[in-house]
């Protein structure tokens, strides 16, 4: 699940509620807006809970040098006894760059820079000795990989929607975050909205991953989740609001609409069909979605 609050009390209340309701992981995005900075906030949430995992969804690679990301991620993992997962991406929200004064480079350059960063971070997590890297964007010289993460392999999630990012995630990530194009496009006011095809995305990932596909976990952010007995009416309303067809809403993996039992059936069907086993929801749906979590857990 993904969520954010702006005060200490509200944030820790969210973490406690997530754990009490049976959610596995609390995730926080990374934007220059009205939200907490992800890494210290996630550390606080983990220290205030017992079993809840925490992670980023996702860090913008352009905001931090990968040597710093690696060191801070390893530190958070160590201090949480291995309950951290590192989500990272190439960055997409132009307003973040405008507000911070960072250059918003073309997509190809941002993705290439991310590819180097992930290699550095992975080397830092796994290295037995100093890390050296010479690339186009980053140069690392005898960097001591300390501290060591608590997990033998600290999981890296790469969020992706388009072919080049999907292939990068397939080669380098432990968790591939499949995304619906329209979520970002609507936020940025794109003139044309694309509805991603989950089957097509998974096909790209499988082709690029090869033998390591068996070790990958696939995730989807169900950005619009409605637990309701009026599924058809809700689907039609959303289709009208979003200028989509009802079939596009029903077939998109970014929507979950229906009763708890129906949503469980949908998730199981998507797992069997696409291999998606990691579903994220927004914190605004956390309490309504809890019966689905309970059914999936068999409680």
In a domain, 24, yes or no: yes
How many Å apart are CA 265 and CA 147, to the nearest integer?
43
CATH number of the domain at 192, please.
Answer: 3.20.20.30
Query: What is the pLDDT at residue 179?
Result: 72
In a domain, 49, yes or no: yes
154-165 confidence digits (pLDDT tens)? 999 999 988 999
Query: What is the pLDDT at residue 193?
Result: 66
pTM reported for the whole predicted model: 0.94
Query: What is the pLDDT at residue 6?
Result: 87
In a domain, 33, yes or no: yes
In a domain, 99, yes or no: yes
pLDDT-derived band of residue 187, with 50, 70 and 90 as boundaries?
Answer: low
In a domain, 295, yes or no: no
In a domain, 262, yes or no: no
The boundaries of the domain holding residue 208 are 8-223+276-283
Over range 115-126, report the average pLDDT: 98
SS3 138: coil
How far is C-alpha 98 from the geometric centre of its chain's CA atoms? Answer: 23
In a domain, 292, yes or no: no
pLDDT-derived band of residue 104, with 50, 70 and 90 as boundaries?
Answer: very high
Domain count along the chain: 1
In a domain, 153, yes or no: yes
How many Å apart are CA 45 and CA 37, to the nearest integer?
12
Asked if residue 114 has pLDDT above 80, the reply is yes
Query: What is the pLDDT at residue 184?
Result: 67
């Amino acid at each position: 699940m993904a969520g954010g609050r702006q005060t200490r009390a509200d944030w820790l209340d969210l973490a406690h509620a997530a754990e009490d309701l049976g959610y596995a992981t609390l995730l926080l995005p990374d934007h220059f807006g009205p939200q907490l900075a992800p890494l210290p906030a996630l550390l606080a949430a983990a220290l205030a809970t017992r079993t809840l995992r925490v992670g980023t969804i996702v860090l913008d690679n352009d905001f931090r040098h990968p040597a710093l990301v690696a060191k801070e991620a390893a530190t958070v993992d160590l201090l949480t006894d291995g309950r951290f997962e590192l989500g990272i991406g190439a960055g997409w929200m132009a307003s973040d760059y405008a507000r911070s004064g960072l250059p918003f480079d073309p997509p190809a350059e941002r993705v290439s820079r991310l590819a180097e960063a992930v290699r550095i971070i992975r080397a830092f997590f796994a290295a037995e000795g100093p890390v050296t890297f010479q690339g186009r964007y980053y140069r690392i010289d005898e960097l001591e990989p300390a501290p060591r993460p608590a997990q033998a392999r600290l999981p890296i999630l790469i969020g992706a929607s388009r072919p080049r990012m999907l292939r990068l995630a397939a080669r380098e990530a432990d968790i591939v975050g499949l995304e619906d194009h329209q979520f970002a496009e609507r936020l940025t006011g794109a003139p044309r909205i694309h509805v991603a095809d989950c089957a097509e995305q998974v096909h790209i990932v499988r082709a690029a991953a090869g033998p390591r596909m068996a070790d990958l976990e696939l995730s989807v952010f169900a950005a619009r989740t409605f637990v309701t007995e009026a599924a058809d009416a809700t689907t039609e309303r959303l289709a009208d609001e979003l200028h989509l067809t009802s079939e596009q809403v029903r077939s998109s993996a970014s929507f979950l609409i229906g009763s708890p039992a129906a949503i469980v059936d949908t998730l199981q069907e998507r797992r069997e069909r696409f291999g998606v086993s990691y579903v994220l929801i927004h914190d605004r749906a956390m309490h309504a979605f809890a019966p689905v979590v309970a059914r999936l857990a068999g409680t």
